[in-house]
Structure 1
Amino acid sequence: MNAKTHDSLNSHTPTSPSALNSGEAWQDPKRYLWLLSPVLPGIGLAALTGYALAPKKLKALAWIGPALVHGIIPALDHAIGEDQNNPPESALGTLEQDKYYSRIVKAFIPAQYAMTVMGAWLASRKDTPIEDRIGLALTVGAINGVGINTAHELGHKSTRLNKWMAMAALAPTGYTHFAVEHNFGHHKRVATPEDPASSRMGESFWRFLPRTVFGGMNSSVKIETARLARKGKSFWSRENELLQGCAMSAGFFGATTLVCGPRALPFLAAQAIYGASLLESVNYIEHYGLLRQKDSNGKYQRTQPEHSWNSNQIVSNLFLYQLQRHSDHHAHPQRSYQALRHFEQAPQLPGGYASMLIPAYVPQWWYEAMDKRVIDHYEGDLNRINWAPNRKAELMSKYAHYAAEVAARAASKPRTTPPSC
């Protein structure tokens, strides 16, 4: 991406109401750059093919996945910077109706499957060294982790085909329950203590991980059981979407094992665990410490831009279908990625999702990067934070002085109207 392209991405900054409602003709400056996302499994497939042809000379290609996720993409984010471009209101309808964008999302899946089978075949060869098998599992898992985000985009659409394709994108990680829990659990309970996918301030990723994995699975069972009961059907009905998803994963794992041999099974399990962990890493990042307040009737307020951490790094957003514009996504879950908007006043991460992954794995690093940012967001009001219960008293005492300073500064500033989705 050259300087001219970067300038064009930032040449439209309609963040004011008048600009957002401009009637001028508008064209998406990122229209062809969105192809980077379905290209990602193609990159993985090309790298694995190169490794297959020369495994001793091109050993590094086995590790292309983690290199992209944890190194190359964060470096590009840092070098290229942020994207302040918003589509105007007048363009949203046209953007939503343009089939080009949905075809891009669906194009990810065939390459994803081909790459996964290729990785399983390579990992199953007797002469593949153990370190290369680990690299292959991480590479395939990293790209299948991004595949979960492909499923996320498709799963929010209402057509049956989109929902089946979302399940297909989830099958290689065995995380098909996500299609139920995310849409009907997380979006309902986001930024509340009841949501297993919303992390709490003072909660490390390693404490969050089992809570969100098992909490999400348990929630999805309850949601699907209730849905089927309303139709007069049992949990074991053929209409159970959880069972359908399990069958798709089992079918894919079984067919791949038949083709590649029994050594494929531990490889498939390893890559699935890593891919799913990347999803949960992003869940940890997206709502850390943020809390929807209750009204006088004890009901949570409507989800607002202030309840999601956002990032506007261009490269990560191109690979992740603008998932980092998370506030607008929660306000309009069915809005397609190309139409999502950036809000200046929504809480901002210090970097893109990719660059926040490794800090999330190191609790002290994460706390130093994010805890004061949460307090700043709430202008020093510690009672508005979603706390980890076992650390609430400790952290309120630790940050009391800092919170008082933030509150004093906030009180001296003129009040502004928060953004609305």
Structure 2
Amino acid sequence: MASTVTAPAWRDTKRPLWPLALVIPVLPFVSLAVAVRWDTGWAWLLTPAVVFGLIPAIDLVIGNDRANPPEDLVPALQRSPYYRWITYLYLPAQYAALVAACAVWARGPGPVGGVGLVLTIGIVNGVAINTAHELGHKRERVERWLSKIALAPTGYGHFFVEHNRGHHVRVATPEDPASSRLGESFWRFWPRTVLGSLRSAWRLETQRFRLRSRSPWTVRNDILNASAMTVVLFAGLGVAYGPGVLPFLLAQAVVGFSLLEAVNYLEHYGLLRQRNPAGRYEKVDPRHSWNSDRLVTNVFLFQLQRHSDHHANPLRRYQVLRSFDVSPQLPAGYATMLVAALVPPVWRRLMDRRVLAHYGGDASLANTGRMTGPARG
């Protein structure tokens, strides 16, 4: 049951905090100022240090926020332009950081600066996939196109198709390439989800056109037009700053979409929707996603960590996502858990017992990748 704040004078206490989500695409400019002032490539390690060091530390100090908005106020909160403009503003900051980074790369940042630059922009564009995730679920045409624009720097435009029409249908089942399995390391999960999600997206999009007896090789194909944005973007930056920026663009893209896949890895690890007597998977509910109520990381990620409510209600905007008592809880925020996921023994020590506890010690109820018959739901 959700714990809901019902005070008559309820207000969104996080309202002044949401713009903090824009700090991440601004951090590269702080690094640039430091690098110019002190002529050091180490400045480009600032963003990774903040994201994977400072934010988890502040998260630990501030702790959790489990407050939910009263349902009678949800329609007004969802209509408020304030919240959506914060997501819109991420994109110009994201692209400005990318252009600035290409200029720095073209001048030669040095070995340390080069590594830091790839990680920095990879993180900015990886977090932008979360912004694309928020925008891509909405019915408004402009937001759906903005989602594709946010995905272009990582070359992960197929996420727009696969996440909405694939992952949300098959989540927490062995058939879903983005749902990790009990005992599966991130390093085994990564190639399975990267390749599997791309194949699934193309299959879904081609089926959409075949149902209309049309060829999928058209600009209306959401994978092709999203991919074209990446090609045009990379080509334009290559012309502006020289072909030497292309390896940088490819490297930061890999970092960016790997950050997304690391988040996918931890969001549904080991969780499985059971089959009902008719052989269909049960409806997605708050038990099928790992959640974290850590306040700071939720602010930076538009409450992505309230993932159970998102899967149950995909059109619900980030500012009104709820925390549920029945949702399995991660021991820390996403930034901390991402680091743990990179070290399989640490991850399994933290998470395997939590998966088993969630299923009352019965490992047969967890997602181990074992197929239990054809999925029909």
Write out aligned runs for 1:17-416 (5 A).
19=4, 22=6, 24-56=8-40, 59-126=41-108, 128-388=109-369
Letter of the structure 1 residue corresponding to residue 39 of structure 2: P
Residues 45 and 114 in structure 1, CA contact (< 8 A), matched pair in contact too: no
Letter of the structure 1 residue corresponding to residue 9 of structure 2: A
Letter of the structure 2 residue corresponding to residue 85 of structure 1: A
Q: CA deviation at 1:50?
A: 3.1
Superposed CA deviations along residues 379-409 of structure 1, whole A, max 9, x for unmatched, are 112221111459xxxxxxxxxxxxxxxxxxx
Distance 1:79 1:25 in 2: 28
**Larger RCO (alpha carbons 8 Å, 6+ apart):** 2
Q: Which has the larger radius of gyration?
A: 1
Q: TM-score if structure 1 supplies the norm length?
A: 0.86
Distance 2:130 2:11 in 1: 25
Residues 369 and 229 from structure 1, CA distance in 2 versus in 1: closer, same or farther, beyond 3 angstroms?
same
User: Number of matched residues?
Assistant: 371
Letter of the structure 2 residue corresponding to residue 365 of structure 1: V
Identity of aligned residues (%): 50
Q: CA deviation at 1:237?
A: 1.4
Where does structure 2 lack aligned partners over 5 or more consecutive residues? 372-377
Distance 1:369 1:167 in 2: 35
Q: TM-score if structure 2 supplies the norm length?
A: 0.95
Distance 1:23 1:64 in 2: 41
Where does structure 1 lack aligned partners over 5 or more consecutive residues? 1-13, 391-421
Distance 2:54 2:278 in 1: 49
Distance 2:37 2:253 in 1: 25
Superposed CA deviations along residues 262-319 of structure 1, whole A, max 9, x for unmatched, are 2211111111100110000000000000000001111000001110000010110000
Q: CA deviation at 1:52?
A: 3.6
Residues 62 and 132 in structure 1, CA contact (< 8 A), matched pair in contact too: yes
Residues 324 and 299 from structure 1, CA distance in 2 versus in 1: closer, same or farther, beyond 3 angstroms?
same
SS at match of 2:147: helix
RMSD after superposition: 1.5
Distance 1:174 1:285 in 2: 22
Q: CA deviation at 1:167?
A: 0.5
Q: CA deviation at 1:54?
A: 3.6
SS at match of 2:175: coil
Distance 1:177 1:119 in 2: 25
Letter of the structure 2 residue corresponding to residue 113 of structure 1: Y
Distance 2:67 2:204 in 1: 37
Distance 1:314 1:55 in 2: 36
Residues 202 and 388 in structure 1, CA contact (< 8 A), matched pair in contact too: no
Superposed CA deviations along residues 5-27 of structure 1, whole A, max 9, x for unmatched, are xxxxxxxxx954xx55x472321
